[in-house]
Amino acid sequence: TMSLNSSTLVHGENSEGPKRNTECLESLELQSPSPFQDNPLQQLQLASQEVLEKAKKSGRSKCPRCNSSRMFYCYTCFVPVETVPTKEIPTVKLPLKIDIIKHPNETDGKSTAVHAKLLAPDDVTIYKYPCIPEYGEKRHEIALVFPGPNSVSVKDIAFHLQKYTKKGVWNRGDDCSKEPLLKQAKIEPKEEKNPSECISGSRSEGTRLKKIIFIDSTWNQTNKIITDERLQGLLQIELKTRKTCFWRHQKGKPDTYLSTIEAIYYFLVDYHQDILKENYKGQYDNLLFFFSFMYTLIKNAKCCAGKE
């Protein structure tokens, strides 16, 4: 049973709720009303979104690779459409690599995972399950963002990865098929009295983590992926509880269920502050470049329709 109370959950975009997606954005009101007052994303340090405003007014455009008609970007080729010049889209450099494992039933046009690939193309890779990498020999430097009874906080990542390395569990000569041993290596409560003391604020300790994995699916679809043997034994991370701004919220689920791009963004902010020990000055805000624009667009359209 997953621990839901203290964990921030990543949910996919193929869920119940408003049926709008990127393909119907062009049908929204082109005349935006005055900005609503409760926009929690308005403090972000974002690049100019004028290029998106222009694209919104001109409507759908062709993908330069597959020629499909899309709004803003092609969610299958992971590139902006012709009316959104690549040079006008910000690029974000991440402190580590990100793998996104996408459920095969997750609708491409409803997923925010593509935002990460568009905005951090050199550091993000998207895999469609069951086609995912073998993480066996690199598990001492990889973590999975997923809540559960064995999950740890971002600030304790270095401490737990250090334990993996010291025990030699993931050394090249080990037998990675010994799952009971791997699972035992994850949880040792008696050693967790003061994890921060073991981290010692050292940047070199914090950078043991080389890659972070996210699952892109609805909560009801995650079980098939999270139980895959290739993900067993990975250090699992839970995020600080934050509320989602996603407009396609899953019915009956807490507002701490984040969209994929929100989870990536909040993880990186926490990692930057708690592990790299550096002041956060908006370095990753542009990961929400598309998300914040769509949030405002859809929120305003709802206001115009009298739904809020």
Same domain for 214 and 81: no
57 and 149 together in one domain: no
Given 31, 59, 89, the domain boundary residue is: 89
Tokens of 305: 């329709």
CA dist 112 and 201 (Å) reads: 33
Instruction: Point out the domain boundary residue: 61, 89, 117.
Output: 89
Per-residue pLDDT tens digits for 252-295 = 555 557 889 999 999 999 999 999 999 999 999 999 999 999 98
Instruction: Looking at the structure, tell me whether residues 137 and 70 fall in a common domain.
Output: no
Same-domain status, 278 and 222: yes
Alpha carbon distance 164, 244 (integer Å): 33
Phi-psi region of 28 (alpha: psi -120 to 50; beta: other; left: phi over 0): beta
Q: Quick one: which of 20, 74, 66 has its CA closest to 247?
A: 20
Specify the higher pLDDT residue, 251 or 41.
41
> What percentage of residues in the chain have a pLDDT greater than 90?
50
Q: 39 or 207: which carries more pLDDT confidence?
A: 39
pLDDT on residue 25: 44
In a domain, 28, yes or no: no
Q: What is the pLDDT of residues 204-257, one digit of tens each?
A: 444 589 999 999 987 778 888 999 999 998 999 998 777 767 555 555 555 557
Alpha-carbon span 16 to 221, nearest angstrom? 13
Number of structural domains the chain divides into: 2
Rounded Cα–Cα distance for residues 257 and 40 (Å): 16
Q: How many residues does the chain have?
A: 308
Q: pLDDT digits over 167-204, tens only? A: 545 443 333 333 333 333 333 344 444 444 443 444 44
* Largest CA-CA distance found in the chain, in angstroms, rounded: 63
Q: Indicate if the pLDDT at residue 90 is higher than 60.
A: yes
Same domain, 108 and 81: no
> Cα(228)–Cα(234) distance, rounded to whole angstroms?
11
Residues 231 and 250 in one domain: yes
Tens digits of residue pLDDT in 92-101: 999 999 999 9
Of 59, 74, 89, the last residue of a domain is 89
Angle between helices 179-186 and 157-167 (to 10 degrees): 140
Task: Record the pTM.
Answer: 0.75
Same domain, 228 and 151: yes
Residue 84 CA to residue 87 CA, distance in Å, equals: 9
Q: Provide the sign of the torsion angle of the four alpha carbons 192, 196, 202, 208, taken in this order.
A: positive
Residue 42 lies in a domain: no
pLDDT at residue 116, rounded to an integer: 98
Q: Where in the sequence is the domain holding 274, given as residue range(s)?
A: 94-163+207-307
Which distant-in-sequence residues (6+ apart) come within 8 Å of 200 by Cβ? Answer: none
Which residue in this structure is represented by tokens 């049926």?
19
In a domain, 7, yes or no: no
Higher pLDDT, 36 or 98: 98
